């Protein structure tokens, strides 16, 4: 079952989308029978899905017939909307200029890691220093490309062999045996990110966390092979 409710879809819209995927092009009447729901509720959900881009109206005759948008297309649509919402929130947060607590935020998984790094390191706000495994440095290429284009100061150090054709030079490599189990450590003037093998770890703007991360990165830099 596809659960769309975390992305501003109602529970009924989520159920109807799943049924529409399974049944193919359908009317609200046929979907109501499949789902054992009132036709009025199903048609309302179908209209909501069309309005949100998750379904299309295939036939405007009576009964109207609908078709689900392909799951990959829906994923791209939701990702675009979520990115736009995050961009707007980011602008509002930075415009607020308010002081607050600096908690340590847990990161779980590649997608979360890449999104957090994007929001933390892509902006040209002072020097960014990063040490990471070759594949992770490669995965973050869009960030390094943007920083290179902006002329933003960036220092990259690899853990193990470095990937070729990165948009920024790598100053050296650290043996994985000397990396303290770290798979990525990224330091900016405002925050630090540290993750290990399964890409779980932490982000924080706490000055103590940044200082600890900076000290660890400097120690790794001392162990590098140029």
Count of CB atoms within 10 A of residue 195's CB? 25
Instruction: Name which of 182, 132, 196, 199 is nearest 143 in CA terms.
Output: 132
CA 66/CA 59 separation, integer angstroms: 7
What 3-state DSSP class applies to 170? strand
Q: List the chain pLDDT tens, one digit each, 226 residues.
A: 789 999 999 999 999 999 999 999 999 999 999 999 999 999 999 999 999 999 999 877 888 999 999 999 999 899 888 888 888 877 777 676 667 777 889 999 998 999 999 988 987 678 999 999 999 999 999 999 999 999 999 999 999 988 778 899 998 899 988 888 899 999 999 899 999 988 899 999 999 999 999 999 999 888 887 6
| Per-residue confidence (pLDDT) for residue 100, from 0 to 100 | 74
Contacts of 164 (CB under 8 A, 6+ apart): none
| Per-residue confidence (pLDDT) for residue 97, from 0 to 100 | 65
| Per-residue confidence (pLDDT) for residue 192, from 0 to 100 | 94
| Per-residue confidence (pLDDT) for residue 85, from 0 to 100 | 83
């Amino acid at each position: 079952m596809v659960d769309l409710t975390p992305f501003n879809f109602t529970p009924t819209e989520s159920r109807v989308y799943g049924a529409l995927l399974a049944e193919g092009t359908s009317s609200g009447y046929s979907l109501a029978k499949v789902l054992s729901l009132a036709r009025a509720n199903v048609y309302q959900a179908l209209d909501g899905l069309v309005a949100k881009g998750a379904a299309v109206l295939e036939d405007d005759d009576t009964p109207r017939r609908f078709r689900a948008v392909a799951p990959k297309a829906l994923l791209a649509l939701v990702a675009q909307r979520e990115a736009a919402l995050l961009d707007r929130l980011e602008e509002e947060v930075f415009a607020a200029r308010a002081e607050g607590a600096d908690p340590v935020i847990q990161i779980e998984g590649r997608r979360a890691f890449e999104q957090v790094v994007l929001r933390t390191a892509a902006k040209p706000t002072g020097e960014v220093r990063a040490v990471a495994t070759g594949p992770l440095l490669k995965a973050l290429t869009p960030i390094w490309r943007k920083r290179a284009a902006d002329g933003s100061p960036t220092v990259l150090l690899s853990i193990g062999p470095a990937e070729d054709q990165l948009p920024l030079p790598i100053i050296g490599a650290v043996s994985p045996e000397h990396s303290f189990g770290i798979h990525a450590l990224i330091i900016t003037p405002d925050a630090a990110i540290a993750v290990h093998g399964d890409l779980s770890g932490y982000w924080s703007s706490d000055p103590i966390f940044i200082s600890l991360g900076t000290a660890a990165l400097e120690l790794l830099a001392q162990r590098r092979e140029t």
